[in-house]
């Protein structure tokens, strides 16, 4: 049995191939940032992100030097037609053709250029395996991340779940199944991150189904609940991570480390009054907390002096 290690002493990644990163549900590219912070050289190969604000954020963070006008040879009507089905304005639903038609030319070209600069294939529901452009896996290591929406799993959500065919946002996981099923060459490493409820009572059957699918493709899967506060970050943020490796490999999760800092160690001691919450805002948050807790949701407004972990 071979071994692959992502965290090995001072060598953050043991691998002898150039890395190509594919981020599904990319957001602003936190997985890419993690690799950068670890000092791992990689190529932004493809992303899938449909929310226009996140598309802009990804461009601002990861492709700041790319000022190419990819839209130069296209008419505004051609650009708008290309955007249909690929983007969302509100994070929840695809932008309609009518909404896109109302974009100014400047806005339409900006979104198009941002997507081209970041190799963004747009909404995962419209993507195909060919869009992922996975080839020459003997020469490149493909890492594909898929932090699919958690709203229908988290305690702050409505518990609609992630079952196949449910039509929920968390159910977009099964679009990843579709893409992998279409692939002629598979990414060698998959990384999932989601809320702990992904392996909870309401979703455990779906999670087992997902793992079994990956096993049929030849992946070995390793999952664990990991809290940020156990890895040096003063934040009580518990998440489920799963590493899936194609082939006969095993994976060992990194060891926990002592928490040396509290939240107050990262806070400014002198803050301009314009950043203070007004009494009206505080009252609004308190009412919202009471309303959410009455519904059994997890939202809670709980101010702190920074002397602990949040």
Residues known to be catalytic? 150
- Owner of token pair 């890895």: 231
Instruction: Look at residue 249 and give its three-state secondary structure.
Output: strand
* 85 φ/ψ sector (left φ>0, alpha ψ -120 to 50, else beta): left
- DSSP-H helix ranges across the chain: 30-38, 52-62, 76-83, 97-101, 105-117, 129-132, 173-182, 204-217, 279-294
Q: Residue 146 corresponds to which tokens in the numbers above?
A: 């898929």
CB 151 within 8 A of CB 203: no
Q: Is 71 helix (H, G, I), strand (E, B) or coil?
A: coil
Give the ranges where 166-278 is alpha helix by DSSP (H).
173-182, 204-217
Cβ atoms within 10 A of the Cβ of 225, count?
Answer: 13
């Amino acid at each position: 049995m071979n071994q692959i290690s992502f965290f090995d002493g001072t060598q953050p990644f043991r691998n002898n191939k150039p890395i190509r990163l594919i981020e599904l549900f990319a957001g602003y590219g936190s997985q890419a940032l993690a690799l950068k912070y670890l000092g791992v050289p990689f190529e932004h190969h493809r992303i899938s992100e449909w929310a226009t604000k996140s598309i802009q954020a990804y461009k601002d963070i990861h492709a700041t030097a790319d000022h190419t006008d990819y839209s130069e040879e296209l008419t505004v009507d051609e650009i708008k037609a290309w955007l249909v089905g690929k983007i969302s304005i509100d994070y929840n639903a695809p932008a309609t053709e009518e909404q896109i038609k109302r974009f100014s030319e400047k806005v339409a070209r900006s979104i198009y250029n941002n997507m081209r600069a970041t190799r963004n294939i747009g909404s995962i529901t419209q993507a195909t395996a060919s869009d992922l452009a996975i080839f020459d896996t003997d020469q490149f290591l493909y890492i594909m991340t898929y932090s699919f929406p958690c709203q229908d799993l988290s305690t702050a959500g409505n518990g609609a779940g992630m079952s196949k065919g449910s039509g929920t946002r968390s159910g977009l996981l099964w679009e990843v199944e579709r893409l992998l099923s279409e692939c002629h060459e598979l990414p060698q490493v998959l990384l999932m991150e989601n809320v702990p409820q992904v392996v909870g009572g309401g979703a455990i059957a779906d999670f087992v189904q997902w793992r079994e699918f990956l096993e049929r493709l030849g992946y070995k899967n390793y999952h664990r609940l990991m809290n940020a506060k156990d890895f040096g970050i003063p934040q009580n943020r518990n998440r489920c991570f799963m590493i899936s490796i194609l082939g006969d490999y095993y994976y060992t999760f990194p060891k926990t480390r002592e928490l040396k800092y509290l939240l107050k160690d990262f806070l400014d001691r002198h803050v301009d009054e314009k950043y203070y919450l007004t009494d009206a805002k505080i009252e609004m948050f308190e009412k919202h907390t009471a309303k959410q807790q009455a519904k059994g949701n997890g939202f809670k407004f709980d101010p702190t002096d920074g002397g602990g972990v949040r």
